[in-house]
Homo-oligomer: A and B are copies of this chain.
Amino acid sequence: MGQDTPSRSDARGSPALLALDWGTSSLRAFLLSDTGDVVNARHAQRGILHLPAPAQAGGFEQAFAEIARDWLTQWPALQVVAAGMVGSAQGWKEAPYARCPVDARALAAQGVRVRSGLGPEVLIAPGVLFDVADHSPDVMRGEEIQIAGALAARPDWAERACVVLPGTHSKWARIEDGRIQSFATYMTGELYAVLRNHSILGRLMPSDAAAESSEAEAAFAVGLHAARDSRPGDLTRQLFATRTLGLTRRLPSETLADHLSGLLIGHELVSGLAASRAMLEAGAPILLIGDSALCGRYAHALATFGAPAHAQLDNTAPRGLWEFARAAGLLD
C-alpha cells in the first residue's frame, strides 16, 4: 500500500466523503471535505487485476479494508463512492453502462450499490456507452468521472468543450449542455506499448539510452508531420518507417521511440480533430486531462496542428467523484 499524502490539515473537521478511483492497475482513495476539497489521499497497486486475493475470495473487500479501514474506524458515517473498472463485469459489482448523453446526475441515477464488510455501502459509478446508428459502439469507464470533475470547475466548459484524455486508450469526448454527447477511443498508448515491446520496431530501440532532448523532439516532429500528411490507410506503412529511418540512419536509434510516439499521437489528432471540427470552429475549447508529461506531449502536438489546448488538467477524478456523490444525494 502507498503512503498517506495529506494535502491539507486533517484538523479542518470530519471529511464528508471517501472516494475511490479504482482502475485496472491501481487504486486511489481520497477523503474529501463537504466542499469537495481533497483532505487526504492514498494510493495502492491494487487495481482490479492486482487484488490481494481473487475477487471471488473477497479480494475487493480486502483491498478496500487495506486502504480505508482506519478512516472508516475514525469516521464510520463516511459516504463511499467508487468509479472505474471496479464497476466492470470483472469488478466488485457490475454497474452496467449508462448511455450518452450523460452527466453526473445520470451517472448517479444508474450507480450500483455494494455492501462492504466494513459497514458502509459503496456506490459504484456506471461506465458510459456511446451507441448510435452508423457508428461503431464505444465505451468508457472512469473517464466519465474525470470529465465530470473538469466540467464542475468551469460552467463555460460544461456548456461546450472537446475533452481529450490521453492514455492507453485515449478518449475524445464532445461536451454540450453539461453532458457527454458522444466520444471515441483511440488505442494510441496500447499500440505504442505493444509495438515497442513485441514488434520488430522495438528491436532497433535501445532500452537503456536516452536521446538528446533536441533530437528526440525532432524525431517526434517527423512522426507528427508524417501523420499530418497521411492519407487514409497509411498508418501501417508509416509504422514501418520507424524501422527504415533507423536502418538508414536518418534518425538516431535512441529517437525511434519518439518517432513512433509522434506518428501514433499524430494519427489520433488528425482523426480526433476532424471529427470535432464543427465544434472547434464554433469556439469549443480543447481540454486535456491526465498525466502531465503525456498531456504536455499532446499539447505540443495540438499546437503544431494549429489547434492549441485551452487547459491542461491533472487529476480531476476526486472532484468528479464528489460531483457524482452530490448528484446521488449522499452529501445533503
Q: Which residues on A are within 8 Å of B, measured CB to CB? A: 129, 131, 136-139, 169, 184-188, 190-191, 194-195, 197-200, 226-227, 230-241, 244-245, 247-248, 250, 264, 266-272, 274
| A270: chain B residues within 8 A (beta carbon) | 232-233
How many copies of this chain? 2
Instruction: Choose one: B169, B198, B241, B271; the contact of A232 (CB below 8 Å).
Output: B271
Can you list 7 A-B pairs, Cβ within 8 angstroms, ordered by A? Answer: A137-B250, A139-B244, A169-B200, A185-B237, A186-B237, A197-B198, A233-B272
With contacts A199-B194, A232-B232, A233-B230 taken as known, whether A138 is within 8 angstroms of B267 at the C-beta atoms is: no
Q: Which residues of B contact A169 (CB under 8 A)?
A: 200, 240
With A270-B232, A271-B233 as known contacts, state yes or no: A247 contacts B139, CB within 8 Å.
Answer: yes
B residues near A194, Cβ cutoff 8 Å: 194-195, 198-199
Kindly name the residue among A136, A227, A267, A270 whose own CB sees the greatest number of chain B CB atoms within 10 A. A136
CA of A239 to CA of B234, assembled, Å: 14
Contact of A138 among B136, B226, B240, B269 (CB under 8 A): B240
Assess the A268–B188 pair: CB atoms within 8 A.
no
Contact at B231–A271, with CB atoms within 8 Å?
yes
Task: Judge whether B131 and A274 touch: CB under 8 Å.
Answer: no
